[in-house]
Amino acid sequence: MILQAHLHSLCLLMLYLATGYGQEGKFSGPLKPMTFSIYEGQEPNQIIFQFKANPPAVTFELTGETDNIFKIEREGLLYYTRTLDRETRSTHNLQVAALDANGAIVEGPVPITIEVKDINDNRPTFLQSKYEASVRQNSRPGKPFLYVNATDLDDPATPNGQLSYQIVIQLPMINDVMYFQINNKTGAISLTREGSQELNPAKNPSYNLVISVKDMGGQSENSFSDTTSVDIIVAENIWKAPEPVEMVENSTEPHPIKITQVRWNDPGARYSLVDKEKLPRFPFSIDQEGDIYVTQPLDREEKDAYVFYAVAKDEYGKPLSYPLEIHVKVEDINDNPPTCPSPVTVFEVQENERLGNSIGTLTAHDRDEENTANSLLNYRIVEQTPKLPMDGLFLIQTYAGMLQLAKQSLKKQDTPQYNLTIEVSDKDFKTLCFVQISVIDINDQIPIFEKSDYGNLTLAEDTNVGSTILTIQATDADEPFTGSSKILYHIIKGDSEGRLGVDTDPHTNTGYVIIKKPLDFETAAVSNIVFKAENPEPLVFGVTYNESSFAKFTLFVTDVNEAPEFSQYVFQAKVSEDVAIGTKVGNVTAKDPEGLDISYSLRGDTRGWLKIDHVTGEIFSVAPLDREAGSPYRVQVVATEVGGSSLSSVSQFHLILTDVNDNPPRLAKDYTDLFFCHPLSAPGSLIFEATDDDQHSFRGPHFTFSLASESLQNDWQVSKINGTHARLSTRHTDFEEREHVVLIRINDGGRPPLESIVSLPVTFCSCGEGSCFRPAGHQPGIPTVGMAVGILLTTLLVIGIILAVVFIRMKKDKGKDNVESAQASEVKPLRS
């Protein structure tokens, strides 16, 4: 055994020397705390380190979590004897001590840490071999309804343990459209936009998915994988309008009262009601469970029905689906008594009226619902005054309210007037109404015109409506101011269009002929008008109207040149904004009253998009259309008569442009102030928003976000928040203190889909008081400190030189002046 041990030590020593471990410092050294990293799965009997002993130490001792794997030789060779397994133990904490010849510790023990590094030696495994779930049709796309989970014993901090999920099979697959999607990192399964719109349990009540999971982030061909099955039941959409609600008016129950409910397919929806009628009093509310309440008593006579909408929104305030229309009908109760048409209702009856003839109809009113027992009225005469020559001269139909003469004809000289008290009742209320019946002279005289022919009358066709054009007069010899003598004038011939009318003065029976509708030379240049004068009361038997009650006149209408007339005031058309140039987008029509030809033109075509055929009125595109630039696009169309006075008229043409997906996404604003405080203490994130100029559906835009370059994926991560917002996160904290430009790919998911790559500048900088501090550096055009000092010294030197020159010149000039002054003194003459 001793010999075997010496041989083993000798082999290790030779291996140590052969592999270069004898080099001082790298693979050997003094006894001190150390950490070693070793990949699992390597061959056993591998030397880790050679510890050097310092006298009096002659040998070494190894203790701690050796697991009978790690050994140390007397010479200080640390090695392991079996293959390491990170999943069994990822870190071994050992202690090494140096011993003297007597086995006493002279140095240490010192901690030695062995970190077992991971290799991809474990396959990911789903927690379940089969999953079951249900999802409702029309559920919100992107909202998870199931999570599948897999585990991998490899290190999750390395790619070996990073899992990626993927849907590999969907059954049934309809039109090659995926109805389901999975988050490749979390395993969250949700509906795609197509799935949200097209899933129908009546057609396909269930689906099966095969999900795969791969380690190495799914990026390596050598990654391990596993699969699982998911059975999905499609449940019916419960976001449906409830049945119409019927509420009894003036309810005395405590309010609020629940009347109906709505439910979104998933919990967490936020409900609200929308009153599109904009009522001053909206007596309904909804709670966050979707229960709808009436908050106060309703009055059918105030409003007999309500229509409003229930809306469900997500936590960001985005509508989850279309609004539901709620109908509430207010049921009637008998809470209104009958009402009389007036304080006193007056009728007239002729002296010789036959028995059973109608005198008039008393029409009372009831505000309760029509054609129900609550508004069914009964009429009954309760008193007649006076009772001469007898009581009961009149009767009234029980339900119709029509008064009739019951017993004998009346004589004005006996009683010129009767007063009746009539009881009007419904099933709960009674009301008394009063009727006055006047006995009038019999109508035995006919109206007679003062002349039978009122001659000719000439008018221009543009004479104002409402103008009085003629006065006519007839007389009647019956008792004045009665129905027998009152005259009504009617045009019985020559005015089939009803352009004329006759108003009667009730005091004089004078008739005033007025224009009720515009005259038209083109359709009625000459009209032979015939009037008839008659009484509102019928004539007595044996008396008839004759030619004396008729008159006529001839109306001549003269032509006035009129502008063309469009068939409608506003013409409207709808086309897609991407129609080809030269496409017919609409047409207008106009007609000239005089039959002249018409020429069409456009006015206000500020964008130069349209042209019009001058003859036919057809409108064509002459340039690319753009809904985002203006829709509806409004121009004026001018119709001008050709020849004549060249009169024109104007109509409107509105072109509605339907949207096509022709605008790529972009950032919603200029992000120039995004920063992180350097150095990062932990990974951080920023939020940004995208938009585009296209028209969006009721649910809003649905952008997807990703990094535009694979090289960015080690530093950054983009995750979608909703259809317009995304979060940019750092993957680590080791960033340089400078500006980093992150390229983001944004896809709008339209048809066809458009995408763009946008730049998002993010600055890592020192921070002070929550804001980014950027040290001032040298800017182009700004001198450095050295340059500034040099410029200053040069300037001072130049100024000194200039001052010296000036000083010298001044000194020379002063000497010259002195000489000249002396010379002048010598020649200056003396004054006497």
pLDDT at 480 > cutoff 60: yes
pLDDT at 800 > cutoff 80: no
If you average pLDDT over residues 47-76, what whole number do you get?
A: 92
Q: Which helix (H) or strand (E) element contains residue 197?
A: helix 193-198
State the Cα angle at 354 between 351 and 356, rounded to 5°.
125
Which of the four pLDDT bands, split at 50, 70 and 90, describes residue 661? Answer: confident
Residue-level pLDDT at 828: 35
Tell the residue number behind the tokens 């009504």, with chain if given.
Answer: 488
More confident residue, 751 or 762: 762
Q: How would you label 150-183 residue by residue, b for 16+ Cβ within 10 Å and e otherwise? A: bebbbbeeebbbbbbbebeebeeeeeeeebbbbe
Lowest average pLDDT, out of 62-66, 594-598, 703-707, goes to: 594-598
Beta strands (DSSP E) in 266-410 are 270-274, 284-286, 291-294, 305-313, 324-331, 345-350, 358-361, 378-385, 394-396, 402-405
Of the candidates 356, 358, 338, the one whose C-alpha atom is nearest the C-alpha of residue 348 is 358
The set of residues, in sequence order, having a beta carbon less than 8 Å from that of 590 and lying 6+ positions away, is 564, 565, 566, 567, 598, 600, 617, 639, 649, 651
If you average pLDDT over residues 141-158, what whole number do you get?
A: 91
CA distance 269 to 263: 9
CA distance 676 to 660: 39
pLDDT at 695 > cutoff 80: no
Token code pair at residue 750: 């339209």
Of the candidates 601, 588, 585, 691, the one whose C-alpha atom is nearest the C-alpha of residue 633 is 585
Number of C-alpha atoms within 13 angstroms, CB side, residue 282?
14
pLDDT at 10 > cutoff 80: no
Lowest average pLDDT, out of 249-253, 519-523, 779-783, goes to: 779-783
Which of the four pLDDT bands, split at 50, 70 and 90, describes residue 770? Answer: low
Residue-level pLDDT at 807: 67
Token code pair at residue 518: 């515009």
CB 21, CB 27: distance < 8 Å: yes
The verdict on pTM exceeding 0.85 is no
Q: Which helix (H) or strand (E) element contains residue 703?
A: none
Token code pair at residue 527: 């009209």
Distance of CA 204 to the CA centre of its chain: 31
pLDDT at 830 > cutoff 50: no
CA distance 708 to 212: 26
Residue 125: Cβ-neighbour burial (10 angstroms; 0-12, 13-18, 19+)? middle
If you average pLDDT over residues 807-821, what whole number do you get?
A: 52
Which of the four pLDDT bands, split at 50, 70 and 90, describes residue 818? Answer: very low
Q: How far is CA 740 from CA 667, 674, 715, 735, in A?
A: 17, 10, 11, 9
CA distance 172 to 72: 64
Which of the four pLDDT bands, split at 50, 70 and 90, describes residue 541? Answer: confident
If you average pLDDT over residues 446-458, what whole number do you get?
A: 94
Tell the residue number behind the tokens 């693979």, with chain if given.
Answer: 27
CB atoms within 10 A of CB 146: 19
Residue-level pLDDT at 21: 41
The DSSP secondary structure of 2-38, one letter per residue, reads HHHHHHHHHHHHHHHHHTTTTSBTTTEEES--EEEEE
CB atoms within 10 A of CB 296: 12
CA distance 309 to 323: 6
For CA atoms 131, 136, 137, 141, the dihedral sign is negative
User: Is the bond into 30 cis (omega within 30 degrees of 0)?
Assistant: no
Of the candidates 415, 422, 454, 459, the one whose C-alpha atom is nearest the C-alpha of residue 438 is 415
pLDDT at 172 > cutoff 90: yes
pLDDT at 604 > cutoff 90: yes
Residue-level pLDDT at 819: 36
Which of the four pLDDT bands, split at 50, 70 and 90, describes residue 481? Answer: confident
Give the rounded percent of residues in the chain with a pLDDT score beyond 90: 57
Residue-level pLDDT at 820: 40
Residue-level pLDDT at 13: 45
